[in-house]
Amino acid sequence: MRIVRQPAVAGRFYPGRAPELDATVTTLLDEARAVAAPPAAPPEALIVPHAGYVYSGPTAARGYVLLESARGAIERVVLLGPAHYVAFTGVALPEADAFATPLGEVRLDPRAEELAESLPQLISYAEAHAPEHSLEVQLPFVQRVLGDVEVLPLLVGDAGPEQVAEVIEACWGGPETLVLVSSDLSHYLPYDTARERDGATVGHILDGDWPLPDRSACGARGINGLLVVAPRRGLRPELVDYRNSGDTAGDRARVVGYASVSFTHPPGLGTAESEVT
């Protein structure tokens, strides 16, 4: 029997009807494109936020527009995000064949079970995926920017940097694969405090300095895994956009931070071998 994971936050974190959702994503991408210089090459990995689109959508869009030239070349997205609702140890697969959004279904990588057999930290846990927004909110952007691609959705629970890195390495092929880490930054701090705290966190990411403390970013464990793998593949991080909910649609007394960070090869180097929250 074919299993399709249904949307959990459509109509809350993003519009629940296809016409409105398509218009919202299109507007966000248009606005991002207007201020973003075309990259020399599309990123091979991205960190993007996962709050409601009214809060973090502009920052996410600034990352996604960098991928537009890779439409047709990227065939597979390895998507990692934190588990907000269910605690578990390891990295969880969803036990599904597809994820649905108002824009249609997204095919899941059929090789997931094969991966799970070789990596003991990979588990199947549909109950953790069912209510989770950190992966779901990325899918409409993926659908509009990259088209018909396979997605491997991974929720990161209690797992160390090397454990997560091992999963990323096993899933990451070549330029046909994009690694996408979904994470917000600080939560519910005053505006100026958040900017200071987030600036330090972004600095650690750009310096490749891991592990990030869990409370610095809700997706810190996924980011840590990417920071382990990125230098092995010759990738360099670059800040694309930073803002917080106080800059978009929220109260400045208690804000949530958002950043998009791209990972690309430095010029002249080829591919290395090897709601508010």
Segment 101-160, tens digit of pLDDT = 999 999 999 988 888 889 999 999 999 999 999 999 999 999 999 999 999 999 999 999
* 271, pLDDT greater than 70: no
Q: What angle do CA 20, 24, 30 make, to 5 degrees?
A: 140
Does residue 48 register a pLDDT over 70?
yes
Asked if pLDDT for residue 9 goes beyond 80, the answer is: yes
Q: Does 174 fall in a domain?
A: yes
Dihedral over Cα of 118, 121, 125, 129: its sign: negative
What is the percent of the chain with per-residue pLDDT over 70, rounded to a whole number?
Answer: 96
Looking from the CA of 29 toward its CB, the CA atoms found within 13 Å total 18
Point out the least confidently predicted range of 42-56, 112-126, 201-215, 233-247: 112-126
With vertex at residue 164, the alpha carbon angle to CA 198 and CA 113, rounded to the nearest 5 degrees, is 135
Chain mean pLDDT for the chain? 95
209 belongs to a structural domain = no
Q: What is the pTM of this model?
A: 0.95
Per-residue pLDDT of 61-92, as tens digits, reads: 999 999 999 999 999 999 999 999 999 999 99
What local confidence, expressed as pLDDT, does residue 275 receive?
A: 59
Do the Cβ atoms of 48 and 242 come closer than 8 Å? no
Q: What is the pLDDT of residues 15-27, one digit of tens each?
A: 999 999 999 999 9
Grade residue 199 by pLDDT with cuts at 50, 70 and 90.
very high
Q: The tokens of 13 are what? A: 């974190």
Mean pLDDT of 226-231: 98
Residue 263 lies in a domain: no
Q: What is the pLDDT of residue 268?
A: 63
In this model, does residue 39 exceed pLDDT 90?
no
Sign of the C-alpha dihedral computed for residues 163, 67, 134 and 106 taken in this order:
negative
Q: What residue type is assigned to position 167 of the chain?
A: V
Torsional sign, CA 110, 91, 181, 176:
negative
Q: Is pLDDT at 272 greater than 50 in this prediction?
A: no
User: What pLDDT digit, counting tens, does each position of 257-269 carry?
Assistant: 999 999 999 876 5
Query: Judging by beta carbons within 10 Å of its beta carbon (0-12, 13-18, 19+), is residue 147 exposed, middle or buried?
Result: exposed
In a domain, 188, yes or no: no
Q: Which helix (H) or strand (E) holds 181?
A: strand 177-182
pLDDT number for residue 276: 62
Residue 237 resides in a domain: yes
In which domain, by residue range, is 143 found? 4-118+136-150+165-183+215-257
Q: Is residue 23 part of a domain?
A: yes
| 16 φψ region: left (φ > 0), alpha (ψ -120 to 50), beta (else) | alpha
Pick from 88, 86, 78: nearest CA to 178: 78
Residue 229 has pLDDT above 90, yes or no: yes
% of the chain at pLDDT higher than 90: 90
**Total number of domains in the chain:** 1
Q: Is residue 264 part of a domain?
A: no
- Ramachandran angles phi, psi of 209, nearest 5°: -95, 100
Query: What gap in Å lies between CA 275 and CA 52, rounded to an integer?
Result: 4
Q: Is residue 62 part of a domain?
A: yes
Q: Is 188 left (phi over 0), alpha (psi -120 to 50) or beta?
A: left
Q: What CATH number did the domain enclosing 84 receive?
A: 3.40.830.10
